[in-house]
Copies of this chain bind each other. A is one copy, B any other.
Amino acid sequence: ADGGPAVHTSPKVRWRLASSFPRALDTIYGVADTLAKRVSDLTNGAFTIRPYPQGELVPAMEVLDAVQQGTVQIGHTASYYYKGKNPVLAFDCAVPFGLTARQQSAWLVHGGGLELMRSVFADFNIVNYPGGNTGMQMGGWFRRELNNAKDINGLKMRIPGLGGEVMSRMGATVQVLAGGDIFPALERGAIDATEWVGPYDDEKLGFYKVAKFYYYPGWWEPGPSLSFMVNQAALESLPAHYRGVLEVAMAEADHDMIMNYDRKNPPALARLLEAGAQLRPFARDIMELARKTSFDLMEELAAKDAGYRKVYEQWSAFRDASYQWFNTAETEYAAFARQMMESKG
């Protein structure tokens, strides 16, 4: 240290954060706590953010609305929950056969994605920031095996969002159930299958006890990115220093979530296998049909809406170039590592 002390003032700022997630999804919900702690620490407690889990202030699917209206200054949610307002919002989170976690982060932060999405969020008086990623999700829990795409016909599956739309077009009867209602429905056979997240979160809901076939991959969410949504006026009212604190703390919390999942999922998968879960990859013809159905659906949306097309085309070019690169070193190494592990039995 050298020189004399500088002095500056720190106005008190109190924000409320509405999360779309329950405390039980501790890895996802915890992102809000991580953010709040860091913001407070960096401002000696002058700028505080108080997180509220889903339902305490607003319902899970109305966090965007609450931020837009200024009921809360910030939300932590998934942009694809709001595709009814504008289908293009899904690109901020995940679309079927879209980007993996690393690709999604690169697209948002350095690939022009955030600029594109912010031009859409501006309609809602919101500035969006990346807010964590789960990594590739699992396909979910099935009471019976799926041998080919014909077995999707009549399958009763709990699967929300765009993945549900694709499954529905493939012949499934799609249901949307809240987390707590899934296990009893699966147990009594009211549904044949459910998707959720991945081993760590799935284990807590106990699906393996009533549906032992654990399918992968969750092609409808290859790398879902959650979002911090900040009310634009609230953001602009922050002193510049606090805005910097908020932004760096969001960046830290964003990365921390996937590191947490990557730490927690491996031992959870081992425990699930120990408890009798049977891993199954989706059959090739299911994957191919799902992929074609997904891109047909996105092409239809692009044909109907110039705003969707603008994002879709920029995103598609990024996606194609990105897969060409990941298909070399990353995928070759991963495929080799898998073969080595399988050959050990």
List the B side residues contacting A331 at CB < 8 Å: 331, 334-335, 337-338
Q: How many copies does the complex hold?
A: 2
A172 in the interface (beta carbon within 8 A): no
Interface string of A89-117 (1 = CB under 8 A from B): 00000000100111101110111000000
The 25 sampled A-B contact pairs (Cβ below 8 Å) are: A1-B12, A4-B11, A4-B12, A6-B46, A8-B8, A8-B10, A8-B44, A42-B245, A42-B248, A97-B337, A110-B262, A199-B325, A216-B329, A216-B332, A217-B328, A217-B333, A218-B329, A248-B252, A251-B251, A269-B325, A269-B328, A270-B321, A279-B328, A288-B340, A323-B341
Residues of A within 8 A of B (CB): 1-14, 38, 41-42, 44-46, 97, 100-103, 105-107, 109-111, 135-139, 198-199, 216-219, 222, 237, 241, 244-245, 248-249, 251-252, 254-256, 258-260, 262-267, 269-270, 279, 281, 284, 287-288, 291, 318, 321-338, 340-342
Kindly identify which residue among B12, B254, B279, B325 contacts A6, using a CB–CB cutoff of 8 Å. Answer: B12
Known contacts A42-B245, A217-B328, A266-B324: does B7 contact A7 (CB below 8 Å)? Answer: yes
Find the B residue at minimum CB distance from A137: B329
The answer to whether A263 and B106 touch across the interface, beta carbons within 8 angstroms, is: yes
**Alpha-carbon separation in the docked complex, A41 to B11 (Å):** 18
Known contacts A135-B102, A137-B329: does B7 contact A11 (CB below 8 Å)? Answer: no
Find the B residue at minimum CB distance from A268: B325
